[in-house]
Amino acid sequence: MLFFVLIAGMCLAFANGANDNFKGVATLFGSRTTSYRGALAWATVATLVGSCAAVMLAGTLLKKFSGKGLISAELAGDPQYGAAVALGAGLTVLLATRIGMPVSTTHGLVGALVGAGWAAQSAINYEQLGKGFFVPLLVSPILAVGVTVVVYPLFRLVRRRSGINEQTCVCVTDGSAEMMPVGLGNVAAAVVAGPALQIASAADCEAAGHGAATGIVAGGTLDRMHFLSAGVVSFARGLNDTPKIAALLLLVPALGSLSALALVGVVIAVGGLLSARRVAETMSRKITEMNHGQGFTANVVTGMIVIGASRLGMPVSTTHVSCGSLFGLGAVTGQARWRVIGTILAAWLTTLPVGAGLGAAAYWLIGSVA
């Protein structure tokens, strides 16, 4: 039975990586800031770092997704139940990945926790289910849409009022000498100007510094900030998702918290590297068109919400938050593809019942085989 727990847990971690790993860097690929491979490599590294950080920062989630408090304590410690939850959630996410739909591993897990509990004829704490799981999962994407709708126009207004574009450069020009007439005889004298700070186009800065200008070009700086924001989102995803899966592996006595988190983090990375392409296309290209600044804004909003929720022990879905920020972005820019968004929302609505059904079926199947 412990072998079933381990295999099912690895299945869930792989599915999570395949469906979720690219979500943090979807804006990098969608805005053509970097290639698919470059974005995936950055996502893998940042997510793995987040998984490692979960050891210190996400203990509350590790406890919450063991099922304790939601179902009876005896059932929460039953390896058959743990294996059924992991297998039910893993199959749910793998099915969505196969059709390219970005769904929530958290939703799949919650559904499987409840479905396997029903199959085991355990009482379900519906109050805890509502307050501890449903409310954060429902509120987080709405919050992401709302924050993006407010924040992006503000960022755009500040940029336009400041006259900043991709070629704007904050430069320090070298000293230069200029001949100026002096006195009645118009005797020429050299007037030496020291280094000066200048805000202009990169070409103008170079001209003022006679080809020797050192500065920061807005376009390149935005790209670097965009990469950093994507790394923050991927880090947050690893921080928030890894303990949810590792909680189920704690049923294996040989695995402590550190070993379970490390193992899950590695398998999540492998899942992303091998099977992320279909969800990547949906997230990056099919929800809305975006440029560098828009992608950066969406990542900032997602990172803030997911990291904040992780610190509070709230099981939000990185998928829902990242998609919510893209929905908000598309609404503001008028480039949202509402048919695709509607399909994604339908997939979200079915994730819980499918997870519950597969969790119950997995419980009965494992019980008959073991």
Bridge-based pairing state of the strands 168-173 and 213-217: antiparallel
Which residue numbers in the chain have pLDDT < 70? Answer: 55-69, 132-133, 162-220, 310, 313-315, 370
DSSP secondary structure letter of residue 174 = P
pTM score of the predicted model: 0.76
Helix (H, G, I), strand (E, B) or coil at 213: strand
Whole-angstrom distance, CA of residue 21 vs CA of residue 47:
7
Among residues 277, 276, 298, 284, the alpha carbon closest in space to that of 340 is found at: 284
Element (H, E) at 195: none
**pLDDT per position as a tens digit, 308-357:** 776 776 667 778 889 999 999 999 999 999 999 999 999 998 998 999 99
Whole-angstrom distance, CA of residue 342 vs CA of residue 90:
24
Helix %, strand %, coil % of the chain (to 5): 75, 10, 20
**pLDDT per position as a tens digit, 62-114:** 555 555 567 777 777 788 888 898 999 999 999 999 999 999 888 888 889 88
- Provide the pLDDT for residue 177: 39
Whole-angstrom distance, CA of residue 33 vs CA of residue 366:
46
| Sequence ranges of the domains in the chain | 2-161+241-369
Please state, rounded to an integer, the average pLDDT across all residues of the chain: 79
- Provide the pLDDT for residue 67: 57
- Provide the pLDDT for residue 214: 44
